[in-house]
Amino acid sequence: MNILVTGANGFIGKALCKSLLDMDFAVRGVVRSDEAGIVAGVERIVVGDIGPQTNWDSVLKGVDTVVHLAARVHIMKDKAADPLSEFIAVNAAATEQLARTAASKGVRRLVFASTIKVNGESTKERPFREYDMPNPQDSYAVSKMEAERIINEVSKNTGLETVVLRLPLVYGPGVKGNMLKLMEYIHRKMPLPFGCIKNKRSLIGLENLTHAITTASTHADAAGHMFLLSDGQDISTLELIKRIADAMGIKPLLINIPESFFTAISVAMPPLRPVLERLTGSLAVDSSKFRRIIGWKPKLTVDEGIKSMVADFIS
């Protein structure tokens, strides 16, 4: 089977390409430039910045399955004059161009990496499920929801098989962003004010995610579905800190600040609300549909995934 992976030089893309090669698939990786790092053994395809104008004709020749990871990601301090237009162009319009070209070139299946943010930013009494009404709160999530709508329409009109995967926070070896910062703070034994936080957050480890994507790419029963993914074990920010510290062999320096303090800060300083919500709020997903229909099981437990991530960080 020939598989095309967009965003092949990214955090998820590199790990996925390696997994696909290990399974003896022929892998073609789409990147923006010749300088982009890519896994050895992957056929490099340079397309520049993707958008509605991208020509996918030659890229998709002979491809059986497309895994679309490339995206304009969520940016905390977006400097674009019109962020929504920028997100729509890359995450929705470019996806439409890719999906329609894939259908015309005889590609069998398109697996699309979406985000749990399509469902919303937080959960209260119960986790998110696939049938919940979408509630995107920012331009990134709106653009991903629009991309989902588009590929479903293309599928209905052309017969292209599609699988949509809404992802929570992904962690693992090579992780960047807030998870990397958190590990740095813990490793430096900096005081962390989360000793009273009892939220619930769903995560998915990188190895579990690549296994899920490869399964979604090949399993007959995955076609036509949208799935929420996770490791299946929700943990609080406090538990996450403790498990990372334990994997480092140190004791975290935790300060007991009541949750009401963070709520008050969010009200008094609205720009800090998104960051504080991610650290203190709950965002849990019910990933049982994927397990039930596909028979999928995570390869690693949360603790095993955290230990793998920390080992890479220490090295």
188-235 pLDDT, tens digit per residue, is 999 999 999 999 999 999 999 999 999 999 999 999 999 999 999 999
Answer with the residue of higher pLDDT: 83 or 130. Answer: 130
Q: What is the pLDDT of residues 268-290, one digit of tens each?
A: 888 888 888 888 999 999 999 99
Q: Which of 131, 140, 171, 185 is catalytic?
A: 140
For domain 2-171+202-233+283-299, say whether CATH 1.10.10.10 is its number: no
| Mean pLDDT of the 23-44 span | 93
Percentage, residues of the chain above pLDDT 90? 88
Query: Which pLDDT belongs to residue 78?
Result: 60
List all residues 6 or more positions away from 77 whose beta carbon is below 8 Å from its beta carbon.
none
What residue spans in the chain does CATH classification 3.40.50.720 cover? 2-171+202-233+283-299
List all residues 6 or more positions away from 266 whose beta carbon is below 8 Å from its beta carbon.
272, 273, 276, 277
Taking the C-alpha atoms of residue 266 and residue 282, their distance in angstroms, rounded to an integer, is 15
State yes or no: is 131 an active-site residue. Answer: no
pLDDT value at 76 more than 60: no
